[in-house]
Amino acid sequence: MVYESKIEFTLDTICPWTYLAMKRLNRALASLSAESPVHFTLVYKPFQLYPSASKEGEDKYAWYKTSKYGDSAQKMEMYTTLMTAYGVTEGIKFKFGGTMANTLQAHRCVQWVQASKGPKVTATFVASLYRQYFEEERHPSSKDTLLAAFKDAGIDDAETKQVVEDEYEGLSEAKELLQEQKGNGIDSVPYIVFEGRRRDVTLEGCREVNEYVKAIETIIKECTNGMNGFAEAKLENDDFAPSDPLKTIRAFDAFPKTKPSYTERTNSGGVWTIILVLASLWLANTELSRWWKGNTTHSFSVEQGVGHDLQINLDVVVRMKCEDLHVNVQDASGDRILAGSTLHKDPTAWIQWGNNRRMHTLGATREERLEVKSAGEYREEDVHDYLGAATKSKKWPRTPKLPRNIDSDSCRIYGSMEGNKVQGDFHITARGHGYMELGQHLDHNTFNFSHHINELSFGPFYPSLTNPLDNTIATTDSHFQKFQYYLSIVPTVYTTNPKALKKCTDKYHSSPSSGEDELRAHRMRGAKNTVFTNQYAVTEQSHPVPENAVPGVFVKFDIEPILLTIAEEWSSLLSLLVRVINVISGVLVAGGWLYAMSEWAKEMRSRGQRAPGAQYEGILSPTTPSVSDEKRKQLGF
């Protein structure tokens, strides 16, 4: 039984080394016995050393001298001498004139002949191309050159003209093969692969005849060892299949094993393994930490329920006496509330309210606010911060007692009041100024609307939660100063259980974010994983006003018709496991590529050290008695 083996010969018809290699390989094949158990078929594969070369081409000698040898006449002369000597040993009469050009059309015709005429005709066709280019100084892929090669190969004139004239005949197939060779990692020619029964033998560069003979003998030896008596017994491959049907499952094994004797442990491999293990552990820990912290999402929706009331929580200290201040609320519905009867008023001293480290000062710009010592900026807190703060005491802190020998010069106004859940405003003005009222007109010299806001929030009262205006101080030396705050209120829910929250949505009752009464009526009123509140954005303006205007502190608020849900969620353990596996797999795959590239680079560097200045056209055989080693080194081979 004869084993059919292919020899894939990757070439470019303008490469002198592939011409030499083809000659030497043919000599090696000719030495085979007629009774050889292996029949070899030569298959030509295309490769372009200079794919950007023009179709018309340029002078070959000038191109070699300029592109290869830095326009050095001495090096060019040594090159021609060396190649002439190599050619003599193989019966090649190298000439160095003619045209160097693109070889795509030549490759196209080689593949057409190989597909339609068989290996013998193809070998003659390829040999003709080489001879015309290197020995007759002809264009490598002109129509005249191709027609002559077809004629030398004995191909019919009608077919020849059709293939040569139609430059697109088989062009796409040739380009696909060129791309395939690049994908196989081939970057120089000649590149020869001898196909074996168990493994292939690859030889890169132009080798001596005895090396090709050795590769052929290796293939023959592996194809015959262990198969003695195979043909005589009339056995086929199927006769060696496993007798146990269950063992056929092994055919589906996607993880083939390698014998330990075929593996090798190296220092570089150990270093790469340690690096990949550490990278995998670090990334896996990152994924675990991210999963443990959870994922915070912000979602907007139209607020469900029918709104009625809105609870306002206020705690402010104004630098005027309590009997001289009035607090009033007016909303878009026209209702007016005399908040002074709802809120508490305690006399106090201004100096008792300036030592809060968390206090921040209002200014014209952010930079001015930050210039003040202990000034801060409001930041949105974490979901768990809100949940923890919501469980703390909901009592108003007591007003500090007045120190001895200090009279009260300020008033603390605090408490919660109910208003309509519509656009509105509340303001703090001086007695006798503001809404028309019965009261004594107050001396203007007593006006001082410097104030310290301890608490300003909307909805259920959570004194431990921080709002944008909490711990804000605004001072003035003017008696007629108008402080204005414009608030945009957004109902907000903080939760770690969004699924339960969706189930409890009730569109027929008022939102639990409106106040304490609405929260007590909600089904999740006692849930420790959900907080119903309101956030707001604030814009501040402060400026003196004339004496015919009304000074004071004015807060205008508007309620947005949307609900902001800030939820913290955790993915399942299965999702975590999938992410960790993906991360580790990606590290190992990428690491495998990097390791292979580093090993390839080391191999290329070692080759460069063995053959400094090697050209892209191929690998020169290291032993040629006709040319001295010194000359080869001078040429850069």
* Count of the separate structural domains present in the chain: 3
559, 591, 608 — which closes off a domain? 559
Give the rounded distance of the alpha carbon of 24 from its chain centre.
50
Residue 282 burial by Cβ neighbours in a 10 Å radius (0-12, 13-18, 19+) = exposed
The pLDDT confidence band at residue 257, using thresholds 50, 70 and 90, is low
Does 527 map to a domain? no
**Is the domain of 328 the same as that of 436?**
yes
**Is the domain of 218 the same as that of 194?**
yes
**Is the domain of 322 the same as that of 249?**
no
Residue 284: give the domain boundaries: 264-293+574-599
Alpha helices in 391-541 (DSSP H): 498-503, 516-520
**Host H or E run for residue 356:** none
Task: Judge whether 101 and 55 are in contact, CB under 8 Å.
Answer: yes
**Host H or E run for residue 262:** none
Does 534 map to a domain? no
The two tokens of residue 491 are: 């109902």
Q: What value does the mean pLDDT take over residues 611-624?
A: 41
Question: What is the pLDDT, as a whole number, of residue 621?
Answer: 39
253, 280, 301 — which closes off a domain? 253
**Host H or E run for residue 512:** none
Percent share of the chain, pLDDT over 70: 78
Does 505 map to a domain? no
Percent share of the chain, pLDDT over 90: 39
Does 377 map to a domain? yes
The pLDDT confidence band at residue 600, using thresholds 50, 70 and 90, is confident
Task: Judge whether 310 and 559 are in contact, CB under 8 Å.
Answer: yes
- CA nearest 558: which of 379, 413, 419, 415? 419
**Is the domain of 285 the same as that of 325?**
no
Among the residue ranges 15-29, 187-201, 366-380, the one predicted with the least confidence is: 366-380
For residue 123, what are the contacts with CB-CB under 8 A and spacing of at least 6?
A: 26, 42
Query: What pLDDT digit, counting tens, does each position of 557-575 carry?
Result: 998 888 888 888 777 888 8
Does 415 map to a domain? yes
**Is the domain of 381 the same as that of 284?**
no
Q: How many CB atoms lie within 10 A of CB 203?
A: 18
**Is the domain of 408 the same as that of 357?**
yes
**Is the domain of 468 the same as that of 446?**
yes
Residue 327 has pLDDT above 90, yes or no: no
Does 325 map to a domain? yes
Does 113 map to a domain? yes
Q: What is the CATH number of the domain that holds 142?
A: 3.40.30.10
CA–CA gap between residue 494 and residue 384 (Å, rounded): 9
Task: Judge whether 78 and 212 are in contact, CB under 8 Å.
Answer: no
Q: β-strands 336-338, 325-331: how paired? A: antiparallel
Per-residue DSSP letter, 616: T
Does 385 map to a domain? yes
Q: Render 204-258 in DSSP notation, one character per residue.
A: ES---HHHHHHHHHHHHHHHHTT-TTTTTTT--GGGGS-SSGGGGGGGG-SS---
**Is the domain of 234 the same as that of 189?**
yes
Task: Judge whether 345 and 412 are in contact, CB under 8 Å.
Answer: yes
Query: What pLDDT digit, counting tens, does each position of 305-321 carry?
Result: 666 788 899 999 999 99
Cα separations in angstroms, 354 against 74, 206, 351, 410: 92, 91, 6, 13
Query: What pLDDT digit, counting tens, does each position of 48-106 carry?
Result: 999 999 999 999 999 999 988 888 999 999 999 999 999 999 999 999 999 999 999 99
Query: What pLDDT digit, counting tens, does each position of 275-307 carry?
Result: 999 999 999 998 888 888 777 788 888 876 666
283 three-class SS: helix
**Is the domain of 331 the same as that of 289?**
no
Q: What value does the mean pLDDT take over residues 12-16?
A: 95
The pLDDT confidence band at residue 405, using thresholds 50, 70 and 90, is confident
**Is the domain of 546 the same as that of 416?**
yes
Residue 636 has pLDDT above 60, yes or no: no
Residue 374 has pLDDT above 50, yes or no: no
Output the average pLDDT for the chain.
82
pLDDT top residue among 525 and 221:
221
CA–CA gap between residue 513 and residue 196 (Å, rounded): 79
pLDDT top residue among 526 and 16:
16
- CA nearest 456: which of 520, 391, 538? 538
